[in-house]
Amino acid sequence: MQRVCAMTSNISSPAFLDTSRPDTPDLVVPQGVVPFYLDNRPVRGRLVRPGVLTDTLLTRHDNPDCVLRLAGEALALVAALASALKFQGSFSLQAKGDGPLGLLLADCTDAGALRFHARSDDEAVAELLKANPNPTAADLLGKGYIAFSVDQGPDTDIHQGIVEISGQSLSEMAAHYFATSEQHACWVKLFCDKTEAGWRAGALVMEKIAMGGGIESDATPEEGDDAWETAITLATTLTAREVLDDRLGSADLLYRLFHAEGLITGQPRALAFGCRCSRARLSSLLETFPLDDLDHMAKDGTITMNCQFCNHDFHFQRSEISGKTA
């Protein structure tokens, strides 16, 4: 399943043509998202398990483990929400606060390509850990806001919803967002931890659909409410140990939870390593810099640009870049 693409870093084509990213993994998890619904009940959902992709994404970053754990949850969450939407572009979560983790950004494209960036003050995180070895998302982020956005390209409007950070965990923060912004009830449970196999993450997200709207059902509204409550009760029994264990299939986990509730699973969707950086893009960015800045950035004739999403260093010869003449 894992395909690692390692290209040579011996660059021969000019910077503006060269799109190589030497050691960025080309990794696809075919059953990363399994959608499901409960027959004759107003419940639909997704179980997200990016598997080894979580480890690949998280271990490219130098953030402390407590920050990576939260980033893994954020990746599972955007994968769950993006796969429920019909759109072309990227779906992103951005959390900004005044805590040791000032910024957490995770996004997922319509094709399931995932990436994230976390900007943490690691000294402040170390201070926090002395007093509190298991900080919550709220401890890390502090006061601030959480925004969910759909970006469908340069000539389109960005659809964005913003709420104040409320709750201790990212699951609670997401639930608070849905409670204030969505028409229908949502239930969210996020998981991430370091296992024997490396970092693993997961998300179980359920929505209560309007009866008589999106689904065929002869149940009364009261029966629908009961079915929703039953689904939540069952979903709550899902443990981190189960979700983060690669040996258990997603369809089997859903069967364990909902086999008596008319479970029907849909077509699984793939998740992938999704950084969109390239030498060509960074090269054209560098070309917009004034000559003085380029000279200042060059060390021994080489300019190094780091992609904050995949933490890959791109090296350019100063002589390759013409820069902007005033």
Tokens 């959608």 belong to residue: 35
66 binds Zn ion (CB under 5 A): no
Which of 194, 197, 263, 210 lies closest to 47, judged by CA?
A: 263
Amino acid at 101: L
Please report how close the Cβ of residue 126 comes to Zn ion at its closest, in angstroms: 27
Tokens 């999704």 belong to residue: 274
Host H or E run for residue 214: none
275 binds Zn ion (CB under 5 A): yes
The span of 63-71, 123-131, 172-180, 275-283 binding Zn ion (CB under 5 A) equals 275-283
Residue closer to Zn ion (CB basis): 81 or 310: 310
Please report how close the Cβ of residue 277 comes to Zn ion at its closest, in angstroms: 3
Give the interface size with Zn ion as a residue count (CB under 5 A). 5
Residue closer to Zn ion (CB basis): 148 or 309: 309
Residue closer to Zn ion (CB basis): 194 or 276: 276
Residue closer to Zn ion (CB basis): 104 or 307: 307
277 binds Zn ion (CB under 5 A): yes
Rg, C-alpha atoms of the chain: 22
Please report how close the Cβ of residue 312 comes to Zn ion at its closest, in angstroms: 5
Host H or E run for residue 206: strand 198-208
Please report how close the Cβ of residue 100 comes to Zn ion at its closest, in angstroms: 24
Please report how close the Cβ of residue 65 comes to Zn ion at its closest, in angstroms: 22
Environment class of 274 (CB within 10 Å of its CB; exposed 0-12, middle 13-18, buried 19+): buried
Which positions from 283 to 322 touch Zn ion by CB under 5 A, shown as an x/- string? Answer: ------------------------x-xx------------
CA distance 168 to 211: 32
- Chain-centroid distance of CA 19 in Å reads 24
CA distance 133 to 325: 52
239 DSSP assignment: -
Residue closer to Zn ion (CB basis): 276 or 318: 276
Amino acid at 236: T
Q: Name the site residues for Zn ion (rule: CB under 5 A).
A: 275, 277, 307, 309-310
